[in-house]
């Protein structure tokens, strides 16, 4: 999150444009074409082998920079399966998109307006003193993130409604706020609900909607 905020700050300072792409099967696209080594990660250093390094079999996610001799170029930030492309001009960004799409199965999301990380970040272009970009985290998005956390941890019974409401983080209406209030009231009245684990049945069962 701090890296993304830094990139947005750089975009403001250097008047960069920000585009978003979705990387399909991102975890399968990390093959290396040369030998790359790294220090052993902190907390996972092998005893009696502290001076050894790790040879990478897959590429690591992070920032990638590419600039030509004229100073034009792009900054790429890849997190899980989403990619931010920051460029000095539209031509460089488009060329980068074409190159990536020729190598991987990509989906062009256009100019970035919402970045989904742990909490959705809404990017709004507004007239400001330096014609900058105002970054605000909408209250709706924050509430949805909290509900997702609760849903994942102990309350799977709200998964359906949270999934529905999360579709409107970009432009929520009055009816969506009313629905959120109903969910919060429901959670308040059912605070004693909990997950119960037993040893029966021994076979894990699951159900899904065929549609």
- 114-167 pLDDT, tens digit per residue, is 555 544 555 554 433 445 544 444 578 888 888 998 888 788 899 999 999 988
Task: Say if residue 67 is in the same domain as residue 132.
Answer: yes
Instruction: List, in sequence order, every residue forming a beta bridge with 79; answer none if it has no partner.
Output: 82
68 is a domain residue: yes
Distance between CA 12 and CA 132 in Å, rounded?
A: 5
Cα dihedral value 56, 59, 60, 64, nearest 10: 130
For residue 168, which of 149, 137, 141 has the smallest C-alpha distance?
141
Does 102 share its domain with 132?
A: yes
Q: Is the pTM of this model over 0.85?
A: no
User: What is the number of domains present in the chain?
Assistant: 2
Q: Both 77 and 169 in a single domain?
A: no
Q: How big is the chain by its Cα radius of gyration, in Å?
A: 22
Residues 149 and 65 in one domain: no
Residue 27 lies in a domain: yes
Q: Are residues 127 and 148 in the same domain?
A: no
Cα–Cα distance list, 91 to 88, 94, 96 (Å): 9, 5, 9
Contact between 40 and 54 (Cβ < 8 Å): yes
Mind listing the pLDDT tens digit for each residue in 12-30? 788 888 888 887 765 555 5
* Among 168, 12, 23, 170, CA closest to 84: 23
Asked if 102 and 179 sit in the same domain, the reply is: no
71 backbone φψ class: left, alpha, beta (φ>0; ψ -120 to 50): left
Give pLDDT tens digits for 60-71: 655 567 677 777
27, 128: one domain: yes
Are 16 and 68 in a shared domain?
yes
DSSP 119: S
List the beta bridge partners of residue 169: none
Do 169 and 132 lie in one domain? The reply is no
């Amino acid at each position: 999150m701090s890296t993304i905020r830094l990139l947005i700050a750089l975009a403001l300072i250097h008047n960069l444009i920000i585009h978003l792409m979705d990387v399909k099967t991102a975890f399968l696209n990390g093959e290396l074409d040369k030998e790359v080594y790294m220090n052993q990660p902190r907390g996972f250093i092998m005893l009696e082998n502290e001076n050894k390094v790790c040879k990478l079999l897959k590429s690591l996610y992070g920032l990638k920079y590419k600039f030509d001799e004229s100073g034009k170029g792009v900054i790429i930030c890849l997190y899980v399966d989403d990619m931010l492309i920051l460029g000095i001009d539209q031509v460089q960004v488009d060329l980068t998109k074409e190159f990536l799409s020729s190598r991987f199965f990509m989906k062009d999301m256009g100019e970035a307006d919402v970045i989904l990380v742990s909490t959705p970040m809404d990017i709004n272009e507004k007239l400001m003193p330096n014609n900058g970009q105002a970054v605000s985290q909408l209250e709706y998005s924050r509430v949805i993130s909290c509900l997702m956390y609760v849903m994942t941890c102990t309350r799977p019974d709200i998964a359906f409604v949270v999934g529905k409401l999360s579709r409107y983080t970009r432009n929520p209406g009055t009816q969506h706020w009313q629905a959120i209030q109903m969910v919060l009231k429901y959670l308040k009245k059912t605070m004693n609900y909990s997950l119960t684990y037993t040893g029966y049945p021994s076979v894990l069962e699951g159900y899904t909607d065929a549609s």
